[in-house]
Amino acid sequence: MKRVFGVKKDKEPPPSVQDATDRISKRGDTVDEKLKKLDAELSRYKEQIKKTRPGPAQEALKSRAMRVLKQKRMYEGQRDMLYNQTFNLDQVAFASEGLKDAQQTMTALKSANKELKGMMKTVKIQDIDNLQDEMMDMMDMSNEIQETLGRSYNVPDDIDEDELMGELDALEADMGTEADGVPSYLQPDKEEPDLDAELNLPTAPSGNATAAAGRANSQVEDELGFPAVPRASVRS
């Protein structure tokens, strides 16, 4: 059956905008190359016409240059037409890309909207408010605990500013009267004074010293004319 009726050929997909643009661009490049060649040929004819004297030879060169100029004008028209087609295809491609971007954007928005709806079902504003309130309560409790643990013991808290300034002034006066500007309670302790030297008390007598003192007293009393009184000496 295939030999009789043949096989149905698959249809080729229609050319895309980009394919059409590429093909027209190639044609435009070909036309540009031809225009360059015609420009070079016209320049050569122009130089030849300048060097040739008026006459049949010059007229022949002018006719050739006229033919080349007509070809150039024709190719310029084709090039302009191809440029217009390329511009139209670029506009279509731009519009098509814009629509594709819009479709992708809409698809992404629909997917995001669906996800947001699902997430909003699990998240409630009331739950968030309650969580925030609990966090604030716990922070307040934590601050109270820290303040309680950091409280100082046996430290008066009722010192006002006037009392503080009075204490500072007294300390400054004390530092000014003491030597080297150091308060008395910060200076090292001095040696204890000798109480016996300050009171001018005699030293305790020993045994020999007591006997000698007795004899001296007897002599003194005799010299004064008083009766001598014997005194017992203490032997050690």
Query: What confidence score (pLDDT) does residue 118 get?
Result: 86
Residue 44 pLDDT = 86
- Shortest CA distance to 175 belongs to which of 164, 166, 184? 184
Please state, in angstroms and rounded to a whole number, the distance separating the CA atoms of residues 135 and 128. Answer: 11
Query: Which pLDDT belongs to residue 184?
Result: 58
Residues of the chain falling short of pLDDT 50:
179, 209, 211-213, 216, 218-224, 234-236
Q: What is the pLDDT of residue 111?
A: 93
pLDDT at 103 (0 to 100): 93
Q: Are 210 and 234 in contact (CB under 8 A)?
A: yes
pLDDT of residue 220: 44
The full set of domain ranges for the chain reads: 17-116
Q: Please give the single-letter amino acid code of residue 160.
A: D
| Prediction pTM value | 0.41
pLDDT given for residue 5 in this prediction = 55
Q: What is the CATH number of domain 17-116?
A: 1.10.287
What are the tens digits of pLDDT across the range 97-113? Answer: 899 999 999 999 999 99
So what's the pLDDT on residue 149?
A: 84
Report the Cα–Cα distance between both ends of the chain, in Å, rounded. 165
Task: Put residue 146 in one of left, alpha, beta given phi > 0 → left and psi -120 to 50 → alpha.
Answer: alpha
